[in-house]
Amino acid sequence: MPLRFCLSLLALLASVMPSHAQSIDDEAVAWLQEYIRIDTINPPGNESRAVDFYARIFTAEGISFQTAESAPGRGNIWARLEGGDEPALILLQHTDVVPADPKFWTTDPLSGDIRDGYLWGRGTLDMKGTGISQLATFLSLHRSG
């Protein structure tokens, strides 16, 4: 996924948010790099590694969350922001990725490296990039009070 696209999406989100949202784009790039480096290739999934990633961020932000495992290593996490009278919105994603054969890649599939304006790694398009866009949206809403 082009880094410019991610940053454009985040800039759009930030344009409707308070001024503290200006740093969210830099945070999102760093989060996506870190998230890609977490091996959640399925099988076996190891989604609990992704749960730990999100839990660390939610804890730092003072956001309550819950976790559960359907089987060892197959973790899930959910968090909620209290809203008003408007209909609820759910941001949902999976945290595992399909295997990537390194012989078909020009970089390590779990590198999260930025090269030629692109962020490279397994899950950048499906589904970790979307997850980080959702995280940035969620945290922007949380930070705006």
**At 130, which CATH number?**
3.40.630.10
pLDDT at position 83 is 86
pTM score over 0.95: no
Which residues constitute the domain of residue 134?
3-82+91-143
User: What backbone torsions phi and psi does residue 95 show, to the nearest 5 degrees?
Assistant: -110, -5
Considering its fold, how many domains does the chain have in total? 1
Q: What is the pLDDT of residues 42-69, one digit of tens each?
A: 999 999 999 999 999 999 999 999 999 9
Under a CB-based contact definition with an 8 Å cutoff, are residues 144 and 18 in contact?
yes
Instruction: Give the span between the Cα atoms of 73 and 56, in whole angstroms.
Output: 17
How many Cβ atoms sit within 10 Å of the Cβ of residue 118?
Answer: 16
